[in-house]
Structure 1
Amino acid sequence: MKHYSYDEWLSYVKDEVSDKTREELESHLYTCDQCLENYLQAISVHESSLPVLSNESSFTDLVMAEVSKQKEVNENPVLKKQPVKAKKPFYQQAAFHYLIAAAATLLLTFSGVFHSLATYASAVEAPKHMKEKKHSVTEGVIDKTFAWMDSLEKKEANKK
C-alpha cells in the first residue's frame, strides 16, 4: 500500500492538487490510519487559513439539503446518470444455464439413466448376502430348548 507524505496532505488541505489526485487521496483515507494521522496534522497546522463559518446552523442546513438532493438523484433512476452496462452474451446469462440444466435433466430421464441409477442404488442398499435372514444366538438357543423339551415330551408319551 502506498502511503502519502505529510507534504502531499498539506497540498491537499491547501487545495493545490488535481481532481484525480484529490480522489485518490480521499479514497486512501478510508483505508490507511497512518495517512489519516498525517492529514489531521496538516489540517491542524493549516487550520488558521481555513474559512471560518459565520453561521454554523445555516451551513448544516445547506449540507443536509445537498445530501437530500443527492439521495433523490440516487433513488430516481431517471435522474441518475449511470453508464449503460454492456449486454452479456446469451451463453453467460442465467436463463441459458437453466435451459441447459433442464435439457440435460430431460435427456437423462428419457434415456433411462435415472431408472438405471435407482436400480443400482436399490441393489447396493440391500446386498444379496444380507437378504437372507440370519437367526440370532438367542433364537437358536430357544429353538434348541423347545426341540429338547419336545423330545422329552415324546419320551414321556412313549413310556405311557
Structure 2
Amino acid sequence: MKHYSYERWQQYVKDELSEHQREELEYHLYTCDQCLEVYLEAVTANETSLPALPNDNEFTNRIMEMVPDTDNNNRPWFQRAGFHYLLAAAATLFLMFSGVFQSVASYAGSLEKPIMEEKKPSVTEGVINKTFAWMDSLEKKEAKKK
C-alpha cells in the first residue's frame, strides 16, 4: 500500500492540492490508519493557521436552524415509523400463516440434500460383464452339444 508523506498531508490541510489529488488522499484515509495518524498530526500542527469561529454558539444555532425539523407530529400517518413497523409485522404474519416461509424452507432443504445420481458402471466393469456373459453363453452352447 502506498503511504503519503507528512509534507503531502500538510499540503492537503493547507488546501494546496488539486481536486483530483484531494480526492485521492481522502479515499486513502478511509483505508489507511497509518496515514490517518500522519494527517491528524498535520492538522494539529496547522491548527493555529486555520480560521477561528468568532462565536461558536451562534454558528451552532444557525446550523441547527437550517436542519429540517424531523418531528413525527408534522408527518402524515403513512410516513411515521410506527406505521412501517405495523406494516412489516402484518406482512410477516401473513407470510407465516399462508405457508410461504414453510415452502421456502422445504425448498431450501431440498437444495441441501445431495442429488442421488444413478450409478453408471465404469468401462472396465462393462467389459468384464460382457466377457462373463459371453463366457456363460459359450458354456450353455457346450452344454447343449453334450
Greater C-alpha Rg:
1
Give the TM-score of the pair, scaled to structure 2: 0.41
Give the TM-score of the pair, scaled to structure 1: 0.38
